[in-house]
Structure 1
Amino acid sequence: MPSKSATKRNRRAQANPMSARKGPSGAVIAGIVVVVLFAVAVGFGVLRASNHNTEAAAPPPNAIASGVPIGQPTAPATVDIYLDLQCPVCKAYEQQEGATIDSLIANGSAKVIYHPIAILDEESSTKYSSRASSASGCAAADKVFPQFIRLLYANQPAEGSAGLTGQQLISYGQQAGAGAGFAQCVNNNSYAKWTANLTDAASQAGITATPTIKVNGQEIDKTDGALRQAVLAAAGHK
């Protein structure tokens, strides 16, 4: 198993800042391996300990305890996307698969549950992963979650930096179409507890890397072909 420092170097070396939805080829994404070991992440043990005393954290409006669902509830395929908004490979995956995901949602083939977990807080001096996830809860409440996370990916800060400021998060939320209460929601870190619970639940479910993609509970490769094939299979097509 690679050491944490080796994993960090691997993730940083493969980060590819891009701002357009047209992203890297499936072969590039398939060749990237990002492994984040929860047990050794700085502060993660403290987070888990605090969650053992957890009080139920109400999810944002338009979200659920486990994430943010997008699409028709009756769609035959459920696509779970575990992401960290600080993760460069998550950004690359969204740029590669975003159009496909939009199409699958629009035609009723799949619904997507986004799990904006926070496992890269140690890569920021301000716990940016947690702050961005909490802000995404505010975006979900205003029904602009997909638009908001795409703006955060397009403006993703470098690992090791302080991350986007609260004002920048507010600005991108407003660009996405969030309402008047969005700024207060972000400034109050209103969904910090929801973020912590999402992250703890992902750890308990065995999620050790971002992005992790599942279709109807089965993990798939991070390629366009794998996603399409799994969704077709869920609808009864071979």
Structure 2
Amino acid sequence: MSKAGKDRNKAKRIVEQQKARERRRKVTLWTSVAVVFLLVAAGLVGWAVSSNQQSADAGKLVVPGVAVDHGTAFPVGSGPVVVDLYEDFMCPVCRAFESQSSAALRELAAKNEITLRYHPVAILDRASQGTQYSSRSAGAAAAAAQGGKFVEYHDVLYANQPAEDTPGLTDDKLIELGRTVGLTDATFTDAVKKKTYVPWAGKATDTFSARGYSGTPTVVVAGKQVTGPNNGMPSTADVTKAIEAAKG
């Protein structure tokens, strides 16, 4: 074979080798792209499943086992006359009612003349700059009830009541207040942090509205709402008079 023929054959082999290398490079590239795509897709699926699970957990309705009246209230005493008290922990009028009438009602409950049923509701979430303080504090109170400290926690929430149109207390502060009344276990802390009973607060508020009530405090004695002048907050005398009438 002539020298020219040998050169042509050599050049042909070099071109074929280059083409083979290019084919291998493309196969490697597309294989890598496919692997990356699959990994990303798997990651997105995992993230979506995790995110959906977290959302489902956050929105799950958990009713406190110690709650009565269709899971909406926490009772004090076991007397024959039922007094239902609907309150929002951000409501300043509720705090005023507690300052005025709490001692008298608790005394009647201690004597088992009444069953005092506390219904935490959340109608003032709009007044906490988006933090849903009414719902969060009601949920924390439910967790306290599960820990056997509802009354104590109820009272410390009102003692530290934030003003309307503020963010309210943080979850950490709600947990700290729990510690001051003996709620030191992880169960209470986790319930507040995970907002375990916040959906319950929404359900309790829906029940409140379905019963035809709209403002807090709402005081109901033996199934009849008690109000003061001009449908305002009832006095202690108004409530005790209604209790005496219910006794017959």
TM category (shorter chain) comes to: 0.7 to 0.9
Q: Provide the secondary structure at the position in 2 that maps to 1:164.
A: coil
- The answer on 1:155 being equivalent to 2:160 is yes
Letter in 2 for 1:232: E
Aligned to 1:223: 235
Deviation at 1:233, TM superposition (A): 2.0
Identity %: 38
Check conservation: 1:142, 1:179, Cα contact below 8 A: no
Q: Which runs of 5+ in 1 are unaligned?
A: 1-54
Q: Provide the secondary structure at the position in 2 that maps to 1:82.
A: strand
Q: Provide the secondary structure at the position in 1 that maps to 2:85.
A: strand
- The answer on 1:111 being equivalent to 2:115 is yes
What is the distance in 2 between the residues matched to 1:119 and 1:154? 20
- The answer on 1:213 being equivalent to 2:207 is no
TM-score by length of 1: 0.73
CA RMSD of aligned residues (A): 1.5
- The answer on 1:233 being equivalent to 2:237 is no
Q: Provide the secondary structure at the position in 2 that maps to 1:78.
A: strand
Q: Any residues of structure 2 matched to 1:5-20 within 5 Å, and which?
A: none
Give CA-to-partner distance per residue, 1:45-82, whole Å, 9 cap, x none: xxxxxxxxxx993421321312112211xx22101111
Deviation at 1:179, TM superposition (A): 4.1
Check conservation: 1:215, 1:231, Cα contact below 8 A: yes
Q: Any residues of structure 2 matched to 1:93-108 within 5 Å, and which?
A: 93-108=97-112
Deviation at 1:216, TM superposition (A): 0.6
Give CA-to-partner distance per residue, 1:23-42, whole Å, 9 cap, x none: xxxxxxxxxxxxxxxxxxxx
Q: Specify which structure has the higher proportion of helix.
A: 2
What is the distance in 1 between the residues matched to 2:171 and 2:77? 29
Selected match of 2:193 from 187, 195, 200: 187
Q: Any residues of structure 2 matched to 1:44-193 within 5 Å, and which?
A: 57-64=61-68, 65-72=71-78, 75-125=79-129, 126-180=131-185, 181-193=187-199
Q: Any residues of structure 2 matched to 1:31-50 within 5 Å, and which?
A: none
Show structure 1 runs of 4+ deviating over 3 A: 55-58
What is the distance in 2 between the residues matched to 1:190 and 1:211? 25
Check conservation: 1:77, 1:215, Cα contact below 8 A: yes
Check conservation: 2:62, 2:196, Cα contact below 8 A: no
Instruction: Report how many residues are paired.
Output: 180
The structure that has the greater radius of gyration is: 2
- The answer on 1:201 being equivalent to 2:207 is yes
Letter in 1 for 2:244: L
What is the distance in 1 between the residues matched to 2:151 and 2:198? 19
Q: Which runs of 5+ in 2 are unaligned?
A: 1-58, 228-233
Structure possessing the higher relative contact order (Cα contacts under 8 Å, 6 or more residues apart):
1
